[in-house]
Homo-oligomer: A and B are copies of this chain.
Amino acid sequence: MTPREVDFPRWYQDVIAKAELAENGPARGSMVIRPTGYALWERMQRELDDRIKAAGAANAYFPLLIPESYLRREAEHVEGFSPELAVVTIGGGKQLEEPLVIRPTSETVIGESMARWVESYRDLPLLLNQWANVVRWELRPRLFLRTTEFLWQEGHTAHASAADARGYARRILHDVYADVLVNVLAIPVVVGRKTIRERFAGATSTYTLEAMMGDGKALQMGTSHELGQNFARAFGISYLDASGQRELAWTTSWGITTRLIGGVIMAHGDDFGLRVPPRLAPVQAAVLVVKEGNGVAEVARKLTAALHGAGVRAILDERVDVPFGRRAIDAELKGYPVRIEVGPRDIAESRVVMVRRVTGEKAQVPIDDVVSLVTPALEDDQVTLYEEALAFRERHTAEVTSVPEAIEATSVGWATLPWAAVGPAGEAELNAQGITVRCLVRADGGLPDSEDEPDLVAVVGRAY
């Protein structure tokens, strides 16, 4: 595997290939997510979905194919998405009268339903979410990070007031996205506001969660948007208020995608492959039978069952016809937090070897202690990964005061500087160097209500 220091993008590709996470599909920019990669996504889905439901949103499903005319109803939206659309022109063997676009996002088709479902203030807030695939034509595809088709959840809500919409967009940002990213994926994030230039097409506010990858670049991990009354106006989402007055609703949308898998790889991976945070890990412990003899298989089976009993997601690998070294390397590549190696010689001494992926620690431990050692090890390693990532980000973030300094500093990480020292002109200057304002935050880390607030801090860097 290419070392990270030598060529980070190549290392990234190597990890994906060798850990069997994904590969390119036949059509340009398409992706096959292999079982090891998909299992990560399923775990993320579960963690996100539980929190989305706890925030009161219900899952639904809206059509893949959207009449082209729908997108045109919101001017900024169609302008933003037109260059990326995949268009169906033939259906059932016939040329279609109106072409259908494959959803690049579903504000329009969901807006049209909302308009029918919302009658009075009693129907608000209307809180919907869907798990779906979307297509945005991608000229420079990169597995997980930029693919023509990707998987995501997209939440869409309608509210009776701007304040309620804002509160909900931010609640999702904090209680769902930041909570999962920080506490499950062990990835520190800066939660901030996008500049007008970086805003979602059709939004009035876009909030973002930005994480630093192992090469110092930023990855936008998720976004939550206030859409004002733009889509309500375009699709007629209105309600009768308590006094019988007809009012336009205020809507939000928010999404998080399979690019998170790329984020986990690049935030935590090392030169031996993936390191999966234990709370995320589909496989937290792999019990490997080194080779047969001394009733090893039986011991390994019992150990696996005992780990299951203790709530550990464990698998048993007794494929002794595959060389042990290959299987150990595979477990390392796939980033299983704990590996238990059970061999005939160890068994004779009532011991096994326990290897921790995050710290690299390797120890002989008594068989009877394995279960009681694994659980705290998983907790520790979860914390270690987060702390390592946070320390890395802090080491690679420079506090500067001017755009030229920011340009210099971001050759190896991020820079923070007063937004007043940047502004739209400085932002264009940064962009010309391939650097973007990732987000704006208040001095105390809070979310700005607009980019015109005084004393805002801009976080700038190169990004995926």
A319: chain B residues at CB < 8 Å are 122
A135 interfacial by beta-carbon distance below 8 Å: yes
A30 interfacial by beta-carbon distance below 8 Å: yes
Closest to A97 in B: B28
In whole angstroms, how far apart are the Cα atoms of A100 and B321 in the complex?
42
The secondary-structure label for the interface of chain A is mixed
Interface residues of A in 151-172 (CB under 8 A from B): 151
Given A27-B63, A33-B60, A35-B128, A83 contacting B92 (CB threshold 8 A):
yes
Contact of A27 among B59, B67, B138 (CB under 8 A): B67
Contact of A61 among B61, B90, B137, B151 (CB under 8 A): B151
In whole angstroms, how far apart are the Cα atoms of A32 and B89 in the complex?
22
Given A82-B93, A92-B83, A63 contacting B139 (CB threshold 8 A):
no
Contact B26 A66 (CB under 8 A): yes
Contact B92 A137 (CB under 8 A): yes
A215 interfacial by beta-carbon distance below 8 Å: no
Contact of A86 among B34, B91, B122 (CB under 8 A): B91
Smallest Cβ distance from A212 to chain B, in angstroms?
Answer: 28
Smallest Cβ distance from A37 to chain B, in angstroms?
Answer: 8
A87: chain B residues at CB < 8 Å are 88-91
In whole angstroms, how far apart are the Cα atoms of A65 and B319 in the complex?
36
Interface residues of A in 140-160 (CB under 8 A from B): 148-149, 151
Closest to A25 in B: B63
Number of interface residues of A (CB under 8 A): 58
Mask, A61-103, CB within 8 Å of B = 1, is 1111111001000000000001111111111110000011010
Contact A149 B30 (CB under 8 A): no
Smallest Cβ distance from A87 to chain B, in angstroms?
Answer: 4
Contact B58 A39 (CB under 8 A): yes
Contact A25 B109 (CB under 8 A): yes
Contact A67 B26 (CB under 8 A): yes
Contact A109 B38 (CB under 8 A): no
A63: chain B residues at CB < 8 Å are 25-27, 30-32, 149
A23: chain B residues at CB < 8 Å are 113
In whole angstroms, how far apart are the Cα atoms of A84 and B91 in the complex?
7
Contact A133 B64 (CB under 8 A): yes
In whole angstroms, how far apart are the Cα atoms of A35 and B27 in the complex?
33
Closest to A322 in B: B122
Smallest Cβ distance from A350 to chain B, in angstroms?
Answer: 32
A59: chain B residues at CB < 8 Å are 35, 38-39, 42
A429 interfacial by beta-carbon distance below 8 Å: no
In whole angstroms, how far apart are the Cα atoms of A83 and B85 in the complex?
24
In whole angstroms, how far apart are the Cα atoms of A329 and B99 in the complex?
41
A112 interfacial by beta-carbon distance below 8 Å: yes
Given A26-B67, A322-B122, A32 contacting B62 (CB threshold 8 A):
yes
Smallest Cβ distance from A134 to chain B, in angstroms?
Answer: 10
Interface residues of A in 271-324 (CB under 8 A from B): 319, 321-322
Given A32-B62, A91-B137, A92-B139, A109 contacting B70 (CB threshold 8 A):
no
Contact A35 B62 (CB under 8 A): no
Contact B89 A84 (CB under 8 A): no
6 A–B contacts, CB within 8 A, in A order: A28-B91, A33-B61, A35-B60, A88-B89, A88-B102, A91-B137
Other than A27-B100, A65-B86, A85-B93, give 18 A-B pairs with Cβ distance below 8 A: A23-B113, A26-B70, A30-B65, A32-B60, A32-B61, A33-B61, A38-B59, A38-B61, A64-B133, A85-B91, A86-B90, A88-B102, A89-B90, A90-B99, A91-B137, A91-B148, A92-B137, A122-B322
Pairs of residues from A and B, 6 with the lowest C-beta to C-beta distance, nearest first: A92-B137, A35-B58, A30-B63, A25-B63, A87-B90, A33-B61
